[in-house]
Amino acid sequence: MQSLSKMHEVAPKQKPPTGDEIRAAEGCHIPDLIAPELKILFCGINPGLYSAATKHHFARPGNRFWPALHLAGFTPRILAPNEGDDLLELGYGVTSLVQRATATAHELAPSELVAGGRRLARTVSIHRPRWVAVLGVGAYRVAFGQPRAEIGRQQNTLGDTGIWLLPSPSGANGSYPLVDLVGKLREFYAAAGQAKAV
């Protein structure tokens, strides 16, 4: 892993995938970006085809995850999707509720989301992050049987790990412009630094 002193360096640009590579990524998985006892494990809904083709989370141009993390105070600069080691160095990781890549999250069946919730619980029990931040309100409601869940800290936990619900950073989530997404992430950043998970 790179040291924090190198965080000012910009990662080399990754060659974008071709159209054929993107189409071939249907159903592929991206490995979790995870380590034991992280401060926060960010959990997206599932990989898009562009991300699956690159094998990096939230890689599609237009996804606001990486800029929003920086603007909210989590990272000292905007990390590129291929700078996972730098994110881990800061104490943060990334996973997905459902590992299967699709063109849109609407293609996922409710049963896949429920199974993904169980997978997330197993992952958390092994790696024991302090917090899980689920990025996708509708997916969370289905996965955990919480139809009225709202953005913010959740009453339920995964063992000793607290759960915080956030909007999806996908560019398709027009109900949350970048400024609003950053505001919600800032609230979480402030709370996660002070409050105990349980």
Encode the chain (198 residues) as per-residue pLDDT tens digits: 444 444 445 555 678 899 988 999 999 999 999 999 999 999 999 999 999 999 999 999 989 999 999 999 999 999 999 999 999 999 999 999 999 999 999 999 999 999 999 999 999 999 999 999 999 999 999 999 999 999 999 999 999 999 999 999 987 766 789 999 999 999 999 998 754 454
- State the pLDDT at residue 11: 54
Cα→Cα distances 137→12, 16, 32, 90, 104, Å? 33, 29, 21, 25, 15
User: How many Cα neighbours within 13 Å face the side chain of 8?
Assistant: 1
Alpha-carbon distance of 195 to 26, in angstroms, equals 39
What's the predicted TM-score (pTM) here? Answer: 0.90
Q: Where are the domains of the chain?
A: 32-194
Alpha-carbon distance of 185 to 16, in angstroms, equals 28
Question: Residue 166 pairs with which residues in a beta bridge?
Answer: 135
CATH architecture of 32-194: 3-Layer(aba) Sandwich (3.40)
Alpha-carbon distance of 144 to 157, in angstroms, equals 11
User: What is the crossing angle of helices 178-194 and 65-72, to 10°?
Assistant: 50
